[in-house]
Amino acid sequence: MHRRPGKNIASSFDVIKYLLTLGGLAWLIGRGSEQLGYSWHWHRIPGYILTVSHGHWQAGPLLEGLMVTLEVSAASLVLAALIGLVTALLRLSGSLVGRVLAVIYLETIRNTPLLVQIFFLYFVMAPILDLSRFTAAVLALAFFEGAYASEIFRAGIVSVARGQWEAAYSLGLSNYATYRHIILPQAVRLVLPPLTSQAISLVKDSALVSTIAVYDLTMQGRAIVAETFLVFEVWFTLAAIYLLLAFMLSLLVRLVERLLAGRGQPAWSVQ
Amino acid sequence: MSGEGQGDIIIARGLNKSFPGPVQALADFSVTVRRGEVLVIVGPSGSGKSTFLRCLNGLEEVDSGTIVVDGIPLDENERHRLEIRREVGMVFQSFNLFPHLSVLENISLAQRLVRGKSRARAREFSMELLARVGLRDKAGSYPAELSGGQQQRVAIARALAMMPRVMLFDEATSALDPEMIGEVLDVMRQLADDGMTMVVVTHEMGFAREVSDRILFMEQGRVIEEGTPEQFFNSPVRERTRAFLRQIL
Ligand SMILES: Nc1ncnc2c1ncn2[C@@H]1O[C@H](COP(=O)(O)OP(=O)(O)O)[C@@H](O)[C@H]1O
Ligand SMILES: [Mg+2]
């Protein structure tokens, strides 16, 4: 990949602006906490992440919470992608029933708050279907993010050039084979960036599962705050961890994009 | 088939097709193509040439009329449509190669998925076809790395990989730079010499004159005139045909 010559300079300016903003923010918070008479106890935070006892590393509550957040996020991410893809295919299918079902699902999910969906699944559906907290949390997140993922998939699918369908059909490929081998591989490349944003949203939204007492990162943070009143330190730490997660996720996707970029580029429809 | 010649591979009767808009794309359009014949279709833009080809392999549905390809009726039965598509190869003006697949994969894919060939056997036949269109060394390239003429030759090889009984060409050279038209026409001429049944929509009158067995001139979805290349170019009957030829030659 070759870069535009000005790009590096421009991005170092961005970094400087970013650092200045952060510095300003830190100063404001420092002053504010001084006026509040807040006494910082940063040294206690590492203990909530990782401790050493009897020569063994032991995960603190924050690290345990992070693992739960990762598990919830990963499980609902996979499920959301699946739900999103199936919904997109249903919406584009020739079946009226399929299209109507897809639209009902989409409209319901997009027009109710995620918090209500989590409560509904946990307090209404979970007792009926005998679901665990964890399962209810994963299902709620997956159905919520799946609705948005399906719109992303749909946009990707319809933007693959019409000629690609026609070429595949004229070779005798079935509908399934055409999707599987021709359309989806091209669509996925197009939707990787918006899908990444959606995955990052999912990780952030997963904090809401703490409301049904799933001991994720946020829930652990709330518990520590309730116990120790380290309000500022804990919430700053949580924010930093979520930020780090999002950052690593986009790095990962950028890597995948780089791997795919060497191969042929998809055919976009000109619209 | 009663009443039809044994040698007819495409029988289209009374095709009608309209799109939203004033003109009818196909208006009571009938044609038969004999096995091994090269039929060239010419006509002004918008006269329904592409629509006819697309109806032949079920990319477009006719409003009324019957199409039978190699004894298979193109009807409501989805299986018939798939069967016909397997027997009919199509080459598009815009190539429509699969950009995310290598040249070799472009040609092998349908052999494996539709004909059920092993990877090795599909590869072997693909390399044979690539040699035939003069692109053996491009097997590993991606479409974006090829010139237009090379892409269209790959597209022809891809269609041939299904061992079709009929090949349809929809202005296969219209999107090409002039210096690349020859290489594609050469491949098409070779194919005709090998006895392939071909329906060719083209503006290349030289190709039509030399290679075709029959030329059909259509306008506004109808057959205006039909005849051998000699009749068509030297003694056209219809005034409309003469006007078209004056314009294009
Ligand atoms: N998908 C379509 N939607 C609307 N009108 C179409 C479509 N395809 C073709 N037509 C119309 O049908 C007529 C015949 O088009 P076409 O078969 O492409 O002509 P040709 O290939 O001879 O130039 C034209 O008037 C064209 O505008
Ligand atoms: Mg056309």
Check which CATH number belongs to the domain holding A239 and give it: 1.10.3720.10
pLDDT reported for residue A263: 61
Is the same domain home to A143 and A239?
yes
How many Cα atoms sit within 13 Å of A23 on the Cβ side? 6
d(CA B71, CA B53): 18
Q: Is the pLDDT confidence value at A9 over 90?
A: no
Is the same domain home to A70 and A110?
yes
Phi, psi at residue A8, to the nearest 5°? -65, -40
Angle of the A133-158 helix axis to the A96-110 helix axis, nearest 10 = 120
ipTM of the modeled complex: 0.93
Residue pair B242/B225 in contact (Cβ under 8 Å)? The answer is no
**Average pLDDT over every residue of B47-68:** 96
Q: Do A266 and B99 touch (CB under 8 A)?
A: yes
Q: How confident is the model at residue A119 (pLDDT cuts 50, 70, 90)?
A: very high
Q: Is the pLDDT confidence value at A271 over 70?
A: no
Q: How confident is the model at residue A53 (pLDDT cuts 50, 70, 90)?
A: confident
Distances (CA, A) of B31 to A202, B56, B213, B218, B221: 59, 11, 14, 11, 12
Contact list in A for residue B82 (CB cut-off 8 A) is: 172, 174
Between residues B71 and A260, the one the model is more confident about: B71
Mutation for testing the A interface, residue in B87, B96, B103 having most A CBs under 10 Å: B96
Percent of chain B clearing pLDDT 90 (strictly above): 94
pLDDT reported for residue A91: 95
pLDDT in tens, B213-248: 999 999 999 999 999 999 999 999 999 999 999 988
B49 lines ligand 1 (CB under 6 A): yes
Percent of chain A clearing pLDDT 90 (strictly above): 66
**Average pLDDT over every residue of A193-209:** 93
Closest of A56, A27, A59, A49 to residue A244, by C-alpha: A49
Q: Is the pLDDT confidence value at A163 over 90?
A: yes
Is the same domain home to A190 and A73?
yes
Name residue B107's amino acid: I
Between residues B199 and B21, the one the model is more confident about: B199
Q: Is the pLDDT confidence value at B5 over 60?
A: no
Q: Which of A18-27, B48-57, B89-98, B193-202 has the lowest mean pLDDT?
A: A18-27
The minimal CB distance from B162 to the residues A171, A181, A186 is found for A171
Is the same domain home to A31 and A87?
no
Q: Which helix (DSSP H) or strand (DSSP E) does residue A52 occupy?
A: strand A50-53
Q: Is the pLDDT confidence value at B194 over 80?
A: yes
Q: Do A264 and B101 touch (CB under 8 A)?
A: yes
Is the same domain home to A155 and A249?
yes
B134-B135-B137 Cα angle (round to 5): 130
Residue A25 lies in a domain: yes
d(CA A228, CA B61): 72
Residue A54 lies in a domain: no
pLDDT reported for residue A264: 59
Contact list in A for residue B85 (CB cut-off 8 A) is: 169-172
Q: Is the pLDDT confidence value at B174 over 70?
A: yes
Residue A214 lies in a domain: yes
Q: Is the pLDDT confidence value at B24 over 70?
A: yes
- B158, closest residue in chain A (CA to CA): A171
d(CA B136, CA A269): 30
pLDDT in tens, A128-147: 999 999 999 999 999 999 99
Protein residue with least CA distance to atom 7, ligand 1: B19
Residue A14 lies in a domain: yes
Residue A216 lies in a domain: yes
Q: Which of A1-5, A55-59, A258-262, B141-145 has the lowest mean pLDDT?
A: A1-5
Residue pair A69/A219 in contact (Cβ under 8 Å)? The answer is no
Is the same domain home to A31 and A77?
no
Contact list in A for residue B162 (CB cut-off 8 A) is: 171-172
User: How many residues belong to chain A?
Assistant: 271
Is the same domain home to A137 and A30?
no
pLDDT reported for residue A266: 67
The minimal CB distance from A163 to the residues B92, B110, B113 is found for B92
Q: How confident is the model at residue B111 (pLDDT cuts 50, 70, 90)?
A: very high
The total number of structural domains in chain A stands at: 2
Protein residue with least CA distance to atom 20, ligand 1: B46
Residue A151 lies in a domain: yes
Residue A87 lies in a domain: yes
Between residues A47 and A72, the one the model is more confident about: A72
Q: How confident is the model at residue A83 (pLDDT cuts 50, 70, 90)?
A: very high
Distance from Cα B51 to the centre of ligand 1, integer Å: 6
Q: Which of A16-20, A175-179, A252-256, B105-109 has the lowest mean pLDDT?
A: A252-256
Whether B163 and chain A come into contact, CB under 8 Å, resolves to: no
Residue A46 lies in a domain: no
Compute the nearest-CA separation of B156 from chain A (Å): 11
Is the same domain home to A9 and A81?
no
Q: Is the pLDDT confidence value at A69 over 70?
A: yes
Which residues in chain B belong to E strands, given as ranges?
8-18, 24-34, 38-42, 64-69, 72-73, 88-91, 166-170, 197-201, 214-219, 222-227
Compute the nearest-CA separation of B38 from chain A (Å): 20
**Average pLDDT over every residue of B78-92:** 95
Q: What is the DSSP letter of B14?
A: E
What atom in ligand 1 is closest to the CA of residue B53? 17
Q: Which residue has the tokens 């996020």?
A: A73
Is the same domain home to A10 and A66?
no
Residue pair B126/B102 in contact (Cβ under 8 Å)? The answer is no
The minimal CB distance from B59 to the residues A169, A173, A189 is found for A169
Protein residue with least CA distance to atom 16, ligand 1: B48
Is the same domain home to A182 and A80?
yes
The minimal CB distance from A170 to the residues B59, B98, B109 is found for B59
- B53, closest residue in chain A (CA to CA): A170
Return mean pLDDT, chain B.
Answer: 94
pLDDT in tens, B126-159: 999 999 999 999 999 999 999 999 999 999 999 9
User: How many residues belong to chain B?
Assistant: 249
Contact list in B for residue A168 (CB cut-off 8 A) is: 98
pLDDT reported for residue A5: 54
d(CA A78, CA B165): 45
d(CA B155, CA A53): 68
pLDDT reported for residue B3: 45
Is the same domain home to A15 and A145?
no
Compute the nearest-CA separation of B233 from chain A (Å): 32
Q: Which residue range is the domain that position A12 belongs to?
A: 5-38
Segments in chain A forming alpha helices (H): 5-36, 45-49, 61-92, 96-110, 114-119, 126-129, 133-158, 162-170, 175-177, 184-205, 217-228, 231-261
pLDDT reported for residue B2: 43
pLDDT reported for residue A224: 93
Q: Is the pLDDT confidence value at A121 over 70?
A: yes
pLDDT reported for residue A256: 83
Is the same domain home to A101 and A172?
yes
Contact list in A for residue B102 (CB cut-off 8 A) is: 264
B206 lines ligand 1 (CB under 6 A): no
pLDDT reported for residue A1: 44
pLDDT reported for residue A254: 87
**Average pLDDT over every residue of B33-58:** 96
